[in-house]
Amino acid sequence: MRYLVALIIWLCPLGAIAQEWEDQNAFGPASAQTTLRVLSSTDTSLFVPIIEDFLQEQPDVSIEYFVTGTAQIDQVFRAAPEDFDVVISSAMDLQLKLVNDGFSVKIENLDQPQWAQWRQSLFAFTTEPATIVINRAAFAPGAVPQTRQELIAAMRARPDIFRGRVGTYDVRESGLGYLFATQDARSSETFWRLMEVMGGLDARLYCCSGAMIDDLVAGKLMVAYNVLGSYVAARDDVAEKLEIVLPSDFPTTMMRTAFVSSRTDVEDEASAFVRHLVEVQTGPRNREVFPLPPLGSAVDGTGQAVISLEPALMTYLDPLKRRTFIKEWSSAVIQ
């Protein structure tokens, strides 16, 4: 029963904060006949252009856009699937499990390659690698680590510089951080050694990429691991201070996904929104207008595949598996 207690303890705070949105905005005319309720983990600023583009085509629709963390999305949506029409998240595993558990409807007439959709219900619309973001102040030009191994070596070489100034996701809190960590752990043992080194340097743990970037800019962090590079690139005040490193040993690339709730009352409009989202993200477009990274290809330049949309993503969501993984991660990072 210990794992159940642990699970409940872990879930309770999430339930309590479920209705406190990170951000909440309404778009479109107040008189609109139909309101689409979009539950998303993506910052509103990145989504505004897409929403406005959609509302131009659908003047009778207004959109309520709720932003919260990936893990919370799963909790909130499972608790009340009828409250939301479209669910958007970067936590592919949680999204896939929601679809697997029958929380979605199929969207016909939306042709996506097999790797970028699941069950014609869950549609990927970005490819975004997890990156190492460094504060240029900590490294001499040309000495920036390009792989996890080099990062480990650099941190070991100058522990004084990095102590208390390295950061990564708190995988207990962040669904995306958990997805990145589990996929890293599958790929290489290096991940565990990196976590141990970071743990030895009193790593700071974060809920989200945005907070890590803020602390990097403020100089509180020298290195952040598994940050969404797209968030850094979307900010124009950071290019001088920060450098994005795509680890060349093995990249872990995530796809943002969206699906339409099976409990929606406005399936046509919700499907149209997802279809529009995918069309904008896959078609030719103006990067100035639409800041979200586009849907790339299944395999990136280094021959590494994106995280596949497949039932295996549910493996690490298993409570027993999760308990084991969190235990190992905690013993490595929280020393």
Partner 1 sequence: MDDGVNVTGSLRARLALTLIGSAAAIAVLLFFVVRTYSAQIAQSGQDSILEASVTSILDAVTLREGDVEVDLPYVAFSMLSTDADDRVFYALWQDETLLSGYELLPVADAPDGGEIVLVSAIFDGAPVRVATAARILVGANDRMRVTVSVAQTQDALAGTLNRISRNVGLIGAGFFILSVLVASWATNTTIRPMERLTNSITRRGPKDLTPVARPVPLEMAPLVASLNSFMARLDTSLKQSEDFIAEAAHRVRTPLATVRSHAEATLQRVEREDNRQALRSMVRAIDESSRAAGQLLDHAMITFRADHLETHEVDLVELVEDLVTRLTPVAEMKDIALTVVSEGEARVEADAILLQNALRNLVENALKYVPEESEITLEVSATPRPRIEVRDEGPGFPPDQMQDLAARFSRGENAKDTIGSGLGLTIAKDVAMAHGGELTLTNMPEGGACVTLLL
C-alpha span between 194 and 202 (Å, rounded): 12
Longest CA–CA separation in the chain, Å: 62
Beta carbon of residue 4, minimum distance to partner 1 (angstroms, whole number): 10
Q: Is 331 in the site for partner 1 (CB under 8 A)?
A: no
Instruction: Considering only the stretches 116-124, 128-136, 197-205, 297-305, report the one whose residues sit in contact with partner 1 under the rule CB under 8 A.
Output: 116-124
Could you tell me which residues are beta bridge partners of residue 134? Answer: 223, 243
3-state helix, strand, coil in the chain (%, to 5): 45, 20, 35
Single out the residue of 118, 162, 206, 329 in contact with partner 1 (rule: CB under 8 A): 118
Q: Does 78 bind partner 1 (CB under 8 A)?
A: no
Pattern 289-308, binding to partner 1, x per CB under 8 A? -------------------x
CB 158 within 8 A of CB 323: no
CA 187 centroid distance within chain? 19
How far is Cα 80 from Cα 88, in angstroms, rounded to an integer? 15
Site map 207..246 versus partner 1, x via CB under 8 A:
----------------------------------------
Kindly tell me which residue out of 23, 101, 265, 268 binds partner 1, with binding defined by CB under 8 A: 101
- Whole-angstrom distance, CA of residue 239 vs CA of residue 232: 8
**Closest distance of CB 160 from partner 1, Å:** 38
- Please identify, among the stretches 99-107, 197-205, 219-227, 275-283, the one whose residues bind partner 1 according to the rule CB under 8 A: 99-107
Q: Report the nearest approach of partner 1 to the CB of residue 326 (Å).
A: 13
Q: State the nearest-atom distance from the C-beta of 203 to partner 1, in Å.
A: 25
Angle between helices 2-16 and 70-79 (to 10 degrees): 90
Which string of x and - marks every residue 178-197 that binds partner 1 (by CB under 8 A)?
--------x-----------
Select 103 or 273, whichever has its Cβ closest to partner 1.
103
Which residue, chain included where needed, has tokens 């450098």?
243
Query: If binding is defined by CB under 8 A, does position 310 make contact with partner 1?
Result: yes
Under the binding rule (CB under 8 A), the answer on residue 318 touching partner 1 is: yes
**CB-wise, 60 or 101, nearer to partner 1?**
101
Q: Is 102 in the site for partner 1 (CB under 8 A)?
A: yes
C-beta of 119: minimal distance to partner 1 in Å?
4
C-alpha to C-alpha distance for 289 and 276, rounded to whole angstroms: 15
Contact 325, 182 (CB under 8 A): yes
In whole angstroms, the minimum distance from the beta carbon of 323 to partner 1 comes to 8
Report in angstroms the alpha-carbon separations of 17 from 9, 42, 75, 86, 107: 14, 18, 10, 21, 32
**Which residue, 58 or 308, is less far from partner 1 as judged by CB?**
308
Q: Which residue intervals of the chain are DSSP H helices? A: 2-16, 44-57, 70-79, 92-100, 148-157, 159-162, 175-187, 190-200, 209-218, 229-233, 267-282, 319-333
Of 248 and 315, CB closest to partner 1: 315
By rule CB under 8 A, what count of residues binds partner 1? 23
Residues that bind partner 1 in the complex, under the rule CB under 8 A: 2, 100-102, 114, 118-120, 186, 308-316, 318-321, 324
